Amino acid sequence: MTETAETPVSSPEPRADEEAFHIPDDIALALTEFAAVEQRSRGEAICLILRDYLRAKGYLRGSGPA
């Protein structure tokens, strides 16, 4: 049996009118602290915060993974 190398999947080119997402320094610092206290990665922390916020505002229903 031969092994095949995995080919990375490339993401589509960003549109010219899209701006990169920038997190202000104070929010980035708070996010880093939150992630450390909650023992989560930054990505998991962002998802948790967004999920809770969107649920509280009525945009997200259900009880997805925390």
Helix (H, G, I), strand (E, B) or coil at 1: coil
DSSP 10-24: PPPPPPTTPPPP---
- With bands split at pLDDT 50, 70 and 90, how would you rate the model's confidence at 7? low
- Has residue 40 been placed in a domain? yes
- Has residue 19 been placed in a domain? no
| 64 or 43, greater pLDDT | 43
Contact predicate 38/27, CB 8 Å: no
What is the count of structural domains for the chain? Answer: 1
pLDDT digits (tens, 9 = 90+) for 36-55: 999 999 999 999 999 999 99
- Has residue 10 been placed in a domain? no
| Parent domain of 36 | 25-57
